Amino acid sequence: MARVSFGMLLAVCFAVVAGTIRAATFTASLDRDTIMLGESARLSLTFTEANPSAPSIPPVPNLQISYVGQSRQDTIINGQVSSSVSHTFSVVPRQDGEFTIPAMTIKVGNEMLSSPALKLKVVKPGAPSQESIDSGAQLAYMKLVVPKKQVYLGETLVGELQLYFNSRLTGRGNPQLTAFPAEGFTLGKMAEGQQRQVQVGNAVYSMIPVAVPIRPIKTGSMTLGPVTAIVVVELPGQNRRRDPVFDQFGFRDMFGRGGEQRQLTLATEAMEIQALPLPAEGAPREFSGAVGQFRLAVSAGPTNVGVGDPITVRVQIAGRGALDNLSLPEQTAWKDFRTYPPTSKVETTDQLGLEGMKTFEQVVVPEKADITQLPELSFGYFDPEAKAYRVLKHPAMALVVRPAGSVVMPTIAGNQNRETDQPPPVQDIVSIKQRFGTTAQLSAPLITRPWFLALQGVPALAWLAVVGWRKRADQLARNPRLRRQRQVAQTIQKGLADLRAHALNKPVGDEVTSRVPTGTNNSDDFFALMFRLIQEQLGERLDLPASAITEAVIEERLRPAKVEERVIKELDWLFQACNQARYAPVRSSTELNALIPRLESVLREVGGLKL
């Protein structure tokens, strides 16, 4: 009987254990099956009673699928424990249409688990109808306004992105731009303006203007937009009591009940912009590509020098335009001077960086003693408002150039009235001393002391050091590429250190970072500095100004030079990351730190290219 009871107990235990062991399952799902171009969908791969590593998704043309992370969930229901692991991916379409994410088969233990294929429909974004806006049925919408539809190549056009929110909304989040198609244009830094109330038809909206600098980089008819954004808004709840005092601050009611929240996708209409080429007729030889309205000021010093002595010429160009792209034209009248590449700095006076002043400092060296003046300096630009070229000229400045090695002797003051000087008194014969007096022992002569002998070598060593420094300076002066290569290497070394500081929101040098709260990072400055470092390295290798480097050099210069495809793809990815940072939300410090090794690797490989 005891044996039978023990056998029955074992059977019951096996049955219980078998009932608690569940078979592993695998499912794939999208958070939504229809999205607008510019939005992203979430793909979730969920495993129950299994925990495999993150699976790889088969590539789908025109879909960018990126791994986001994983999450785990454990539940206990009626004493039964179950667990599930979800791997999440971000799906970003690059064009509209219908896409199929193929079925996946994954081996878990000894089992092969499969998921069905998923369909994703991507539609083009569209602006709402004017009737829905005028009637107030539209909760929010967005418009892109430009002052004119024709613009010259290189001219900066300040557009305005206008965000409208219906006055009956009780709250809203910060809009996040998801796409700003602008092929053939470069976009500057956006600046948000003052919010104001506007009447549109029969409805009242709160309008937030955002200024956007737009500059064409090629000619022809190009499409700007449609711009898309995502925003979360809140409508008043059905049982919520409205309070005009608390509502203006976005407070909820006394019972903590908020209104209904909705996520809206906003889109503008696409618009055609005609980029006109600059007129070929009438272009002065002093024109070097500047477009805008400018003023010129020049100073130089010293003006009394010898042949071979340096003179610093300071040129200040102030006004409105693309200040970063300004460069000094070649001065053909300076043939009697040896000139060196100028250094420059930009100081802006507005939020968009379009108004301000760019200062150039250039060292020139006179090579003849008969030079009497520094020739006039000319600067040409194209005025898009007047549709004509302008030339600014600064008159010649007087110089005094002495022959090499000549020194202006100082005038020594002396007594001019020598006839009235009293003759020195006649000294009588001194008597011979009878006693020597107190005697003292003389120390060893200095010539016999080692420290004195070593001291005599200091001037020779100093002279040799000065000669070596002078030869090195002349070598750098004769080799601008070598000098620029060293300057770029120093700039990149310091820039990488500043990138790490921006990622952690630490002070950079003597600067105290206070534009973002503690615990976040300085994302805007991080991507601006990363873009500048790429410009500096590519500009040095291609022998181009750093400000002229854009992502277009990949197709125009790097591919024809047969640069490795791996380097080209990595550069393209970094350019796209910098462009998207202008309207993407602030990234975490971990994400920013992850970009630094990729940037270091690309800069190191680009620096070794033979172009």
DSSP string, 590-610: HHHHHHHHHHHHHHHHHHT--
Most confident stretch, 306-320, 427-441, 550-564, 591-605: 306-320
369 inside domain: yes
Q: Do 499 and 393 share a domain, yes or no?
A: no
Q: CA–CA separation, 152 vs 45, rounded Å? A: 51
pLDDT digits (tens, 9 = 90+) for 78-110: 767 778 888 888 888 888 889 999 888 887 777
Q: Do 158 and 270 share a domain, yes or no?
A: yes
282 inside domain: no
Domain-terminating residue out of 340, 371, 402: 402
Q: Do 63 and 187 share a domain, yes or no?
A: no
Q: Do 492 and 603 share a domain, yes or no?
A: yes
Q: CA–CA separation, 215 vs 188, rounded Å? A: 8
418 inside domain: no
Q: Do 62 and 89 share a domain, yes or no?
A: yes
Q: Which of 204-218, 308-322, 551-565 has the lowest mean pLDDT?
A: 551-565
Q: Which of 247-256, 422-431, 458-467, 529-538 has the lowest mean pLDDT?
A: 247-256
pLDDT tops 90 at residue 416: no
Q: CA–CA separation, 302 vs 559, rounded Å? A: 47
Q: Do 213 and 83 share a domain, yes or no?
A: no
What's the pLDDT at 516? 38
Domain of 78: which CATH number? Answer: 2.60.40
321 inside domain: yes
Which residues contact residue 396 at a Cβ distance below 8 angstroms, ignoring those fewer than 6 apart?
Answer: 373, 374, 375, 376
What's the pLDDT at 417? 46
Burial class (CB in 10 A: 0-12, 13-18, 19+), 140: buried
CB atoms within 10 A of CB 11: 10
Q: Are the C-beta atoms of residues 381 and 390 closer than 8 Å to each other?
A: yes
Q: CA–CA separation, 169 vs 98, rounded Å? A: 34
444's tokens: 């060893």
Give counts: helices (H), strands (E), the chain: 9, 33
Give me the domain span that covers residue 57. Answer: 23-123
pLDDT digits (tens, 9 = 90+) for 534-567: 888 888 888 888 877 887 888 888 888 888 888 8
What's the pLDDT at 291? 93
Overall domain count for the chain: 4
pLDDT digits (tens, 9 = 90+) for 238-288: 544 555 544 544 444 444 445 678 778 888 888 899 999 999 888 888 888
What's the pLDDT at 439? 59
Q: Do 153 and 266 share a domain, yes or no?
A: yes
Check whether the bond before 395 is cis (ω within 30° of 0): no
Q: Do 592 and 564 share a domain, yes or no?
A: yes
448 inside domain: no
Q: Are the C-beta atoms of residues 302 and 161 closer than 8 Å to each other?
A: no
What's the pLDDT at 455? 84
CA pseudo-torsion sign 10, 12, 15, 16: negative
Q: CA–CA separation, 500 vs 529, rounded Å? A: 11
What's the pLDDT at 39? 72
pLDDT tops 50 at residue 31: yes
State the helix-helix crossing angle for 565-580 and 589-607, rounded to 10 degrees. Answer: 140
Q: Do 487 and 591 share a domain, yes or no?
A: yes
Q: Do 162 and 272 share a domain, yes or no?
A: yes
Q: Are the C-beta atoms of residues 208 and 163 closer than 8 Å to each other?
A: yes
* Mean pLDDT calculated for residue range 410-433: 48
Domain-terminating residue out of 402, 419, 442: 402
Q: Which of 5-19, 172-186, 548-562 has the lowest mean pLDDT?
A: 5-19
563's tokens: 């640069």
611's tokens: 């172009």
What's the pLDDT at 250? 47
Total-model pTM: 0.49
Q: Do 100 and 153 share a domain, yes or no?
A: no
What's the pLDDT at 22? 63
15 inside domain: no
**C-alpha radius of gyration, the chain, whole number:** 38
pLDDT digits (tens, 9 = 90+) for 335-394: 888 888 899 999 998 888 889 999 999 899 998 888 888 888 999 999 999 989 999 999
Q: CA–CA separation, 80 vs 461, rounded Å? A: 87
Between 267 and 519, name the one with better pLDDT.
267
Beta-ladder partners of 35: 122
What's the pLDDT at 431? 53
Domain-terminating residue out of 402, 429, 450: 402
What's the pLDDT at 407? 53
Burial class (CB in 10 A: 0-12, 13-18, 19+), 470: exposed
What's the pLDDT at 294? 93
Q: CA–CA separation, 369 vs 372, rounded Å? A: 8
Q: Where does the pLDDT of residue 135 fall: very low under 50, low under 70, confident under 90, or very high at 90 and above?
A: confident
Q: Which residue, among 293, 345, 351, 358, has the nearest Cα to 156 in the 3D structure? A: 293
Q: Do 209 and 296 share a domain, yes or no?
A: no
356 inside domain: yes
pLDDT digits (tens, 9 = 90+) for 436-456: 555 566 677 777 778 888 888
- Going through 349-430 in order, the beta strands assigned E by DSSP cover 355-366, 373-374, 377-383, 388-394, 397-398, 400-402
Between 305 and 36, name the one with better pLDDT.
305
Q: CA–CA separation, 309 vs 399, rounded Å? A: 12
5 inside domain: no
Q: Which of 146-160, 298-312, 475-489 has the lowest mean pLDDT?
A: 475-489
Q: Which residue, among 41, 89, 94, has the nearest Cα to 576 in the 3D structure? A: 94
pLDDT tops 60 at residue 14: no
Between 522 and 21, name the one with better pLDDT.
522
